[in-house]
């Protein structure tokens, strides 16, 4: 198996134990349910004990196998307990997926230090602790798969979500550095970073909100199941990085091509993050779990349930073929028809 996760193949999901943090809502919940439906034994981890118990019961009622472990991923002892329960119940785990995450809406200067610290403890420190605990288990097991949830914000800045952006930039840096160290060590752990664009989860409703309006997601918005399918694909067919949505890749390319021009999009990006109505739950779930148990966030008809770009990127040969076809078409268009010889 490739340490870098490029081209290696791991056991099918039906033969895997998969740990999912942030499993009580959104992408984590979609991933856990989908993994269980495909035969994996699932370890559910999140702060909300009641929601986890209900989710586990639903998985078992559908014929799946799961255990629930209430945990705050920002605390090492909680993360170690998740791993220990997986070993106790299933003999260990094959793939660890770090999904747990929160956000804050508002100008950086107005956000309290306590709120900044809490976000970083969940988004960054939770990913760090989950990764390190998982890797230590993989050392005893002889390898495994680690999948971290980054974001298009791992590569791009967004005003009014500054600390979320900082956390996702840091998750990317940490994940890339850890991958290099594992390669140097020769430990066969496949490390994947998944970077979605906007996803229709309860993230805005659960956000700590300093704005005068209810927060929302900038378009385009993808369904959580699109991300879950990519995560579970990587659990069997590891890849280094996976962008969710062609829009994510396009935005990153735009920023790289014209970084100064991208900065001037700040007013438009800020406007796209505000609804017309006043804030409903400004405290959110930053310091205590609320509104757990939902996969979707209520974006309705605006949600894209698939991404041709992501599907192609999960199959590199197909993506190469699409790229080659696009280049050929572009060349033909630029060159135009060749004149006939007389």
Encoding tokens for residue 279? 């804030």
Find how far residue 130's CA is from the centre of its chain: 14
Dist CA 194 CA 230 (whole Å):
8
Q: Is 284 left (phi over 0), alpha (psi -120 to 50) or beta?
A: left
Dist CA 253 CA 259 (whole Å):
10
Selecting among 164, 210, 222, 243, the annotated active-site residue is 164
Catalytic residue status for 164: yes
Quote the longest CA-to-CA distance of the chain: 82
Other CB atoms within 10 A of residue 133 CB: 20
What are the residue numbers of the active site? 164
């Amino acid at each position: 198996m490739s340490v870098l996760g490029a081209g290696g193949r791991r056991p099918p999901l039906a033969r895997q134990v998969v740990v999912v943090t942030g499993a009580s809502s959104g992408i984590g919940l979609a991933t856990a349910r989908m993994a269980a439906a495909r035969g994996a034994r699932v370890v559910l981890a999140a702060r909300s004990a009641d929601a986890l118990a209900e989710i586990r019961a639903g998985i078992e009622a559908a014929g799946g196998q799961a255990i629930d472990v209430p945990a705050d991923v920002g605390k090492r002892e909680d993360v170690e307990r998740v791993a220990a329960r997986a070993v106790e119940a299933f003999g260990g785990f094959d793939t660890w997926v770090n999904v747990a995450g929160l956000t804050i809406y508002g100008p950086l200067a107005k956000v309290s230090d306590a709120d900044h610290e809490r976000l970083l403890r969940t988004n960054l420190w939770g990913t760090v602790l989950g990764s390190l605990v998982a890797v230590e288990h993989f050392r005893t097991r002889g390898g495994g798969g680690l999948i971290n949830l980054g974001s298009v914000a791992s590569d791009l800045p967004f005003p009014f979500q500054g600390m979320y952006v900082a956390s996702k930039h840091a998750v990317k840096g940490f994940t890339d550095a850890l991958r290099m160290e594992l390669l140097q060590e020769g430990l066969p752990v496949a490390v994947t970073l998944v970077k979605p664009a906007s996803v229709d989860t309860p993230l805005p409703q659960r956000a700590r909100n300093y704005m005068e309006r209810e927060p929302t997601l900038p378009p385009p918005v993808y369904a959580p199941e699109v991300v879950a399918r990519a995560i579970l694909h990587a659990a069997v067919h590891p890849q280094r990085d996976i962008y969710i949505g062609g829009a994510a890749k396009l935005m990153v390319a735009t920023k790289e091509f014209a970084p100064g021009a991208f900065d001037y999009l700040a007013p438009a990006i800020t406007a796209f993050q505000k609804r017309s109505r006043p804030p409903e739950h400004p405290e959110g779930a930053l310091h205590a779990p609320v509104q757990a148990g939902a996969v979707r966030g209520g974006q309705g008809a605006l949600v894209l349930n698939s991404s041709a770009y992501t599907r192609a990127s999960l199959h590199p040969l197909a993506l190469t073929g699409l790229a080659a076809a696009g280049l050929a078409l572009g060349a033909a268009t630029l060159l135009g028809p060749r004149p006939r010889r007389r």
